[in-house]
Amino acid sequence: RRPLVVPCKGKLYIFGGDNLGEHWVDIYTIRSGLWERREVPGSALLSRFSHQWLMWYDVNVNSWEEVDCKFPRAPEYHSRKLIRLGCNLLIVDSASVWYIYDLVRKKLLANVAVGGFDGSEIITDIFCCHHANEESLIYVFMEPDETVFKPEKSPHPQHVSYAIVKLKLQTFSAKVEYEGHRHLKVGPYIKHYM
């Protein structure tokens, strides 16, 4: 159910679970084609909505540890997106303001205003296409644009709105690469997952 897939050292680590509250890590070794499943203790997944937190997973001993990271507080009812950029973490709560967080020093480095967004866009998916020390290219997918999605013609959207954002890590600045938003024509859909 909405798994997180992390590639590392020739293996795919798939963190997931089901509707019954069971959670596990599936490890796929690419070279041998073999799978290994590890159970996740319930104590590692306790709900902690009172503060922002991360879990550190040690693959060798299958142990979990909470990391107190003091993230900026997430706005209520927002779906926070996290992307690792080297030793930094990109925290996205809204389209117009992003955060850069230092994972080593556990401190906020910068608030980044994203030029080209007005703040009304709702981000559904986000991922990094290219990362270097100087800059990263971030693909942002958003809820359908009202000017393209006409409910009277079709009950479901036909296009997925997206933008490519260039994030400069030396100056902590970001801007949308293209004027306006582009659209992927995907046909009628109810929800999309990237």
pLDDT in tens, 120-152: 888 888 989 889 889 999 999 888 766 666 666
Statement: the pTM of the whole predicted model exceeds 0.85: no
SS3 assignment, position 83: strand
Q: Which two tokens stand for residue 139?
A: 């693909």
pLDDT tens-digit map of 17-60? 776 767 788 999 999 999 999 887 766 665 544 445 677 788 88
> Partners of 55 in the beta sheet?
66
pLDDT recorded at residue 150 = 66
Task: Report the half-sphere exposure of 29 (CA within 13 A, side-chain side).
Answer: 7
| Three state DSSP letters for 126-174 | EEEEEECCCEEEEEEEECCCCCCCCCCCCCCCCEEEEEEEEEECCCCEE
Closest-CA residue to 184 (of 176, 174, 170, 194): 194
